[in-house]
Structure 1
Amino acid sequence: MVRLGLKSLHVDRCRVMLLAATAMAGVSGTAFAQETATATTGYEDEIVVTALKRSTNLQETPISISAVTGDAIANSGVQSIADLNASVPSLTFVDGGPSSRRVVIRGIQAAGEPTVGTYYDETPVTGAIGAGNDAGGSTPELRLFDVERVEVLRGPQGTLYGSGSMGGTLRVIYEKPKFDTEFAADVSLSGTRGGGANYEGSAMVNVPLVDDKIAVRAVGFYRNAEGFIDNTTLNIKNINDQKSYGGRLLVRLQPTEDLTIDAAAYINRSRTDTNAWTLSSGKYKSDALTRQPVRDDLELYSLTANYDFGGVTLTGIVSYLERDLDAVSDVSRFIRSTRTAAGCAARVGGGAACTPTQLTNYYALVDSQSSSALYPQQTMSSWTAELRLSSDGSGPFNWTVGGFFSDRDTHVANPQVNTDPVTGRVIEPQQIATIRFIDDSLRQVAVFGEFSYDVTDKLNLTAGARYFKYDKDISGQTTIGSILVGAVVRPLSFVDSSEDGTAFKFNASYKITPDVMLYAEAAQGFRPGGANQVIGLAQELTPYTSDSLWNYEIGLKNTLFDRRLFLNIDVFQIDWSDMQITGRTPNGAFAFITNAGKARVRGVEFETTIRPAEGFSITGNASYIDAKLRENQSNANVSAPGLKGDRIPYVPKFSAGIAAQYQWALSDTLSGFVRIDANTVGGSYSDFRPSGQPTVNFTRYIDDYQLANMRVGVEGPENRWGAYLFVTNLFDSTAITRASSSAIAVSRTLVNSAAPRTIGANFRTRF
């Protein structure tokens, strides 16, 4: 194990920052709209959530759930789901930069299909599988502007949300068209230390076309962020520039009072270069020998219909997602590392020393690929549909039943191509050294139901179940081989993987008082298996099975002091079986997935909102998670990294966040605004301890870090407009969020991090 040498921020500085935020509690002001998870939109009205697929009040929903409102998202500067980790306990991300982020809840983190179900409105989305069959590692991130709320459900949600929700579910709920004219805009200009100028803008317009019958809501955005990483090999400054743009169009039809139809189109475009830098080259310095651009184009179309039968609601959803994702990664140093006599003996001479002619030809082959990159290009399309019936929650017996279908197809071309040694760009037309093609299809069907009964006015019992079946078909072929990376020409071959099974949930809640509720839950989660598509394995299309877990938890929800204090806490234990884990090919260059070992996760989660005076609020959250292997990871076919007692990678033991916001009157028409957000994330490991092959230790320790943001401004009457100055990464912390090493990186450590201190101005308006 190698420990990263950059310490992000002294803990003492974080303590001073958090104490300063807390000290603001002694100041009073004017009325203020509550924003966040466990609180309300006012002193009387509580947030309504739809996590149970029917409307319930947040504090009366007997599960571990947080809800971050649209106001909180705007005030804290959140732009995508990856920025939410400071606001929600146990929510973390394996952050490889834009288009390369994995969502993690309660430490259930592994390669393969997602362990967290991510929804935009009613549509579940996954990443593209890539060459490593890792659909969970590239979660789609749509812009969080004009959002009603984000719900984060912790713990498995398999009964209502299906596969991929074994750790939890993250739901983004956008504002819907209204039968009034509305307009909103948000523009910012900023500068990043060591980078350049950033500018971005978002706008929304809502127009009723037919009174109380048809309304349209259109949203658009554009963002240009200068990079902050310099490539010292190619002499390019700010190489990780990022441009993103897109929007969404929503149409609401309400032909009768009982029928509502919502049609939506979401468009997202993103262009950037990898934001990884090389630890040994210096802070925010990259020594990559190639450009590593990322192109991510996403389109999502959905149609949702709700019909109220009176006490029972029928909901139907159909959606189509298409995503094109291309990413380039530098392999030049790995290729160059094979330019040895030993390399020739292993690859050409069958273990014997090469002849002079063989050695000359071998060196020429290596030299011809000495500047090269992997260039996976993938296209994914996915259909999903759900039909369900739900009670309206008015009686003692409430229920939801339904059926689900999804069909996802992915096409991947994964070539190794030559690059220009001067510019680092892929040479066109492409000079292909080796290439593999993959077609992957995943079809899932399920039926589900959840039933809840108020035994008394205090005691509620809930039970749920889901039956699922999936079929995964994969085909692959390698048309051009390469002895340098162990790629053998292989004809088109096929493999399929099919399973069915059930998931269950049992929940009991008891209202100790009208404002204090105790609940207990046991719930099961699962995700599909699949087959590897990795070169360098004796059998490249090697299948692996689904994995599953049981979650046991007890929680307490408190609403105290006339709704001025909200305090929620829970403890849980998760037993994870047949884990899908990552192994490596014998040469250490490529990863693959197999089932090996068991894990146990134990934790405590805490969140609170305090409103000590009008116009002032403090929200806080914290989690402690102990996520470890219960046995060595091995099976009959492979000895993968991971020994009993190892911590699950990228899972910090402790994380916490705090936000303090104060709003006060400056005059009869103007008010002042100040907000501080801060969070701390504990240290973690990038991988398990090595066992067996490869013998090189690629595990890295990632230091803890602390981040703080601040915003001050002036707001107009009824918050119709606001002008603000803001600072993100206030103390200019070097916050490393991800670290990796491999044979491809020739044992160098590549890291991703938060951007340096950024200072800017923001203006927004709504009317």
Structure 2
Amino acid sequence: MLALSQATVAQNSPQLEEVVVTAQKRSANLQDVPISISVLSQDSLDNLNISDFGDYVQQIPSLSFTQRRPGEASLFMRGISEGGNGNQSLQGPSVAIYLDEQPVTAIGFNLDPHIYDVERIEVLKGPQGTLFGAASQAGTLRIITNKPSTDAFDAGFDLTAETISDGGDSYMAEGFVNVPMGDRAALRLTAWWDDDGGYIDAVEDTITYPLSGITRTNEAYREDDFNTAEKTGLRAALRVDLNDSWTANVAATYQENDIEGIWDHDPDELGDFKVSRFFEDNAKDEWTQFALTLEGDLGFADLTYAGSYLDRDYETYSDYSAYSIDGFVEPYYTCYVSYFGPCVDPSIQYSNLSEITSQTHELRLASSTDRIDWIVGAFYIETETDFDSRWSIPPINPGAAVIDDLYFQTDQVREDSEIAIFGELNYRFTDKLTGTVGYRWFDGETTLDGFVGTVFFPEGGFAFSPERPPDNVDSKYSGDDGTLKLSLSYDVSDDTMVYATFAEGYRPGGVNRAPGVGETYDPDFLDSYELGWKSTLMDGAWRFNGALYFMEWDDVQIGFFNPDISLLGLVDNVGSAESYGVEIDTTYLVTDNLELTLAYAYNKAELTDDYFARSDNTEPDAVDGQDLPFTPDNKFTVTGRYNFDLGAMPSAVQLNYTYTDSMYNDIFIANREEMDSYGLLSASFTIEGDGWHASLFGDNLTDEVAELYINSVDIRRLTTVNQPRTFGVSFGMRFD
């Protein structure tokens, strides 16, 4: 009788829902996958009001980032960071970002898809070099959209309005429809419009140039709440069951983001949420992605083909006038009286037009038997980045037909391609012990062609060129190598697993635009040693996962500037670094109504060699033992959600708090500053009726002013800042 009572209690106790992931390129329960993974489900994304990159990165403790404005972001994981860069000629990122099956990683311009009708976001921590390849050096972030379903008709919409303290208002409309077309086909359409209000004021200021004494005012560039963004998009997906064994999924996504202003302020000189600008600051990010996935059962294995094509245009304009205060512009360009006459205003407008196309093809076989699971595949990627960066001074070179006010330009085409063969084998030695071995061979090539330099050059005497000078960049890198993965997992019980993993990750090699440290640089590699556990306790009410790790980073690719070598940024393989830490991810269903979630990461990432950017330096530019940039020692998020009935209507209240420790903004001592720690608190109240739901929410309730990124990208010290206290309301409906 006692045993029966205990079984009844266990059966009636609250249990967490199973979380399904595809981290190993096949569907599996999160608790059965021996990888440290954070997952934001569709419910979590909705409950946390997550709509873009900055929102979801805050919720993952192992991630850190920089982002000056939408579409311009660098991502770091587990402390593996040399600081990143936004220069498309230099080294690539160490974290790969995937949209469904396609890597959409870019140097300093990571794709920022709107987060709506998204099934989940998976964050795979640690090197994923075997299955995901290049740039998955420190980890991989995967955005997985909802797919069409033949089960039933489903549709819905959501409307949101927000008001920002001492700022503007934001409005958002989103909707989806899933339409079965018989028993074997379904169409899913998703659309969004997101109009983000601003909170940075472009205020009155002047700038005086030292050589000419010319003073420039910014009357034409003053505006309150000038950092706004309007994002629109559409996704269409079609699923067709070709027969009982084969399925085809075709998808197309289009998104356009019109961006005004910058998300930086100048608190020391002008005050919080204030900045001064002397030229236009805007951007337009427009992209289209096409994807095809074919899946079939061959009997002995499942075959998957995944192909995709991305076409992206990114155009940006920024004020760069501060460069002329103590640079070479006045003495050599705008105030070179001997050749060009009287001094003119040296204020600079920077612009960049990038046209990026990328195609990927992957063919893989996956099979499972009683004792062996295996996956083998081949992958190919080809990316072309055609970018034209211009530094323009309006009064110079009047009347030139081609280059007009241009004085410096980087007009280049970068082509990156890679072919890889990969495989992983899981062998169950016993019912409890499983071993994994994986390997990836890759062969990559990078070419860089075009022109970089000044359009002012001697040709029969000093003069501005009437057109862009001829190409002076023609560099090529090619090389092949491999990455290894070894893992053991042991089922302590039906509900607890422990694992130990050794894994390698890499960034591809590349080319330099100018001689000095070599025409090419090599891949850099990361060796990771990880001990982890997955456990489901208290009859399914408590999920407690975690990992301990130690990583060694060798031949680190670092971008640097040394005028003794070149006036251009270069990349070299220098020194080493290490990172170690612990991650905890736990969810506890206290009752059927109360759920608590904690995610925490402690990370210590340091250089293990002195670094000298100049060979004649007596003091290092970065020192052994210093923290790597953008690597907070501690970061965590805590969420509590309580469900209850308000009358007959299901309701919920939720609190979410994220904390990010202090961290440094640069690897080089000369530019290095410590950014303060910060914490962000949000809350929401949700109520549901018959087919409708509504919520009230508040973000950054304590009105924290967070230092997200201290930067000098525009040659003056500015700080990227978060959105002030915001209150909002949303309403949505579902139809079936």
Q: TM-score, normalised by structure 2?
A: 0.88
Contact 1:297 1:325 in 2 (8 A): yes
Tell me how far apart the structure 2 counterparts of residues 361 and 172 of structure 1 sit (CA, whole Å). 56
The answer to whether structure 1 residue 387 and structure 2 residue 363 are counterparts is yes
Tell me how far apart the structure 2 counterparts of residues 523 and 541 of structure 1 sit (CA, whole Å). 29
Tell me how far apart the structure 2 counterparts of residues 218 and 178 of structure 1 sit (CA, whole Å). 12
Contact 2:16 2:589 in 1 (8 A): no
| Equivalent position SS for 2:703 | coil
- Percent of counterpart pairs with the same letter? 29
Q: Which has the higher contact order (CA 8 A, sep 6+)?
A: 1
Aligned residues: 683
Aligned to 1:474: 448
The answer to whether structure 1 residue 413 and structure 2 residue 392 are counterparts is no
Tell me how far apart the structure 1 counterparts of residues 451 and 21 of structure 2 sit (CA, whole Å). 47
Aligned to 1:286: 275
Aligned to 1:26: none
Q: Quote how far apart the aligned CAs of 1:688 are.
A: 2.0
Partner of residue 49 from structure 2, selected from 77, 83, 90: 77
Tell me how far apart the structure 1 counterparts of residues 700 and 124 of structure 2 sit (CA, whole Å). 28
CA displacement, residues 265-302 of structure 1 (integer Å, 9 cap, x when unaligned): 11111111221222332111111211211111111101
CA displacement, residues 611-670 of structure 1 (integer Å, 9 cap, x when unaligned): 1111210111111110000001248979783211111111111100011111111233x1
Q: Quote how far apart the aligned CAs of 1:689 are.
A: 3.7
Partner of residue 207 from structure 1, selected from 174, 179, 182: 179
Tell me how far apart the structure 2 counterparts of residues 454 and 332 of structure 1 sit (CA, whole Å). 63
Query: Superposition pairs for residues 654-673 of structure 1, below 5 Å?
Result: 654-668=634-648, 670-673=649-652
The answer to whether structure 1 residue 563 and structure 2 residue 537 are counterparts is no
Contact 1:595 1:635 in 2 (8 A): no
| Equivalent position SS for 1:648 | coil
Aligned to 1:758: 726
In structure 2, stretches of 5+ residues that fail to align are 1-12, 85-90, 205-220, 397-401
Partner of residue 111 from structure 2, selected from 140, 143, 154: 140
| Equivalent position SS for 1:103 | strand
Contact 1:278 1:749 in 2 (8 A): yes
Query: Superposition pairs for residues 722-737 of structure 1, below 5 Å?
Result: 722-737=693-708
Q: Quote how far apart the aligned CAs of 1:75 are.
A: 0.7
Contact 1:316 1:387 in 2 (8 A): yes
The answer to whether structure 1 residue 700 and structure 2 residue 677 are counterparts is no
Tell me how far apart the structure 1 counterparts of residues 391 and 326 of structure 2 sit (CA, whole Å). 16
| Equivalent position SS for 1:613 | coil
The answer to whether structure 1 residue 396 and structure 2 residue 371 are counterparts is yes
Q: Quote how far apart the aligned CAs of 1:443 are.
A: 0.8
Distance 1:199 1:430, change over 3 A: farther
Aligned to 1:275: 263
Contact 2:560 2:613 in 1 (8 A): no
Contact 1:269 1:297 in 2 (8 A): yes
Aligned to 1:437: 411
Tell me how far apart the structure 2 counterparts of residues 752 and 52 of structure 1 sit (CA, whole Å). 36
Tell me how far apart the structure 1 counterparts of residues 677 and 16 of structure 2 sit (CA, whole Å). 39
Tell me how far apart the structure 1 counterparts of residues 223 and 315 of structure 2 sit (CA, whole Å). 21
Contact 1:403 1:445 in 2 (8 A): yes
Partner of residue 163 from structure 1, selected from 119, 129, 134: 134
Contact 2:503 2:528 in 1 (8 A): yes
Aligned to 1:625: 603
Tell me how far apart the structure 2 counterparts of residues 106 and 323 of structure 1 sit (CA, whole Å). 29
Aligned to 1:130: none
The answer to whether structure 1 residue 122 and structure 2 residue 101 are counterparts is yes
Whichever residue aligns with residue 364 of structure 2, its letter is R
Aligned to 2:218: none
Contact 1:402 1:447 in 2 (8 A): yes
The answer to whether structure 1 residue 238 and structure 2 residue 217 are counterparts is no
Q: Quote how far apart the aligned CAs of 1:338 are.
A: 4.1
Tell me how far apart the structure 1 counterparts of residues 156 and 616 of structure 2 sit (CA, whole Å). 56
Distance 1:309 1:650, change over 3 A: same
CA displacement, residues 666-704 of structure 1 (integer Å, 9 cap, x when unaligned): 233x122111111000111111243xxxxxx22221100
CA displacement, residues 109-155 of structure 1 (integer Å, 9 cap, x when unaligned): 2332121111111111122xxxxxxx1x2110111111111111100
| Equivalent position SS for 1:237 | coil
Distance 1:490 1:629, change over 3 A: farther
CA displacement, residues 418-443 of structure 1 (integer Å, 9 cap, x when unaligned): 3699xxxxxx9962222231011111
Partner of residue 589 from structure 2, selected from 578, 586, 611: 611
Q: Quote how far apart the aligned CAs of 1:339 are.
A: 7.8
Partner of residue 48 from structure 1, selected from 1, 7, 20: 20
In structure 1, stretches of 5+ residues that fail to align are 1-39, 128-134, 349-353, 422-427, 691-696
| Equivalent position SS for 1:731 | coil
Q: Quote how far apart the aligned CAs of 1:100 are.
A: 1.0
Whichever residue aligns with residue 481 of structure 1, its letter is V
Contact 2:254 2:289 in 1 (8 A): yes
Contact 2:510 2:522 in 1 (8 A): yes
| Equivalent position SS for 2:130 | helix
CA displacement, residues 417-474 of structure 1 (integer Å, 9 cap, x when unaligned): 23699xxxxxx99622222310111110000000001111110100000000001111
Aligned to 2:689: 716
Q: Quote how far apart the aligned CAs of 1:586 are.
A: 2.5
| Equivalent position SS for 1:215 | strand
Contact 1:597 1:634 in 2 (8 A): no
Partner of residue 600 from structure 1, selected from 547, 562, 578: 578
Tell me how far apart the structure 2 counterparts of residues 704 and 601 of structure 1 sit (CA, whole Å). 20
Tell me how far apart the structure 2 counterparts of residues 658 and 610 of structure 1 sit (CA, whole Å). 12
Q: Quote how far apart the aligned CAs of 1:387 are.
A: 0.1
Partner of residue 90 from structure 1, selected from 46, 53, 62: 62
RMSD of aligned alpha carbons: 2.7
Partner of residue 377 from structure 1, selected from 329, 353, 357: 353
| Equivalent position SS for 2:131 | helix
Query: Superposition pairs for residues 294-443 of structure 1, below 5 Å?
Result: 294-310=283-299, 312-338=301-327, 344=331, 347=332, 359=337, 364=342, 367-368=344-345, 370-391=346-367, 393=368, 395-418=370-393, 431-443=405-417
| Equivalent position SS for 1:161 | coil
Aligned to 1:694: none
Partner of residue 501 from structure 2, selected from 518, 521, 526: 521
